[in-house]
């Protein structure tokens, strides 16, 4: 092993908005003091159980367009949930948008966070 994951960084236009969105979805602490990162207008963090997400402001942020290969996903998160229907309702109420709800038979659906990053809700 050469390295271990410290955090996943998401580019966005508004670091506060996106960090609060993911805090509502995953819990955790926004901008918890941590010597690894300097916090400021262009950077925010979310410490969750065992994972840190970081949010970096990018001027003229261009969100991905799923599944458009001209503006690909760049990354996505798979988020385990016990009740897919309930989780879909909750994430949409937080400001996400549905990208693909599937055929009702599969165990996941695709959504985009408020900055346009695609992710999957996956039934545990």
- Which helix (H) or strand (E) segment holds residue 5: the answer is none
CB atoms within 10 A of CB 94: 16
- For residue range 15-68, list pLDDT tens digits in order: 999 999 999 999 999 999 998 888 889 999 999 998 899 999 999 999 998 889
% residues pLDDT > 70 (the chain): 99
Q: For residue 89, is pLDDT > 70? A: yes
Overall average pLDDT of the 111-123 stretch: 91
Q: For residue 1, is pLDDT > 80? A: no
Whole-number pLDDT of residue 74: 77
């Amino acid at each position: 092993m050469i390295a271990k994951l410290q955090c996943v960084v998401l580019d966005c236009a508004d670091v506060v908005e996106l960090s609060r969105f993911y805090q509502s979805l995953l819990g955790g602490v926004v901008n918890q003091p941590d010597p690894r990162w300097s916090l400021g207008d262009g950077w925010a963090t979310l410490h969750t159980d065992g994972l840190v997400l970081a949010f970096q402001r990018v001027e003229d942020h261009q969100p991905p367009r799923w599944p458009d290969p001209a503006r690909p996903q760049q990354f996505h998160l798979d988020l385990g949930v016990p009740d897919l229907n309930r989780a879909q309702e909750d994430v949409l109420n937080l400001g996400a948008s549905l990208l693909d709800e599937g055929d009702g038979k599969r165990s996941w659906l695709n959504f985009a966070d408020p900055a346009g990053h695609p992710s999957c809700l996956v039934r545990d």
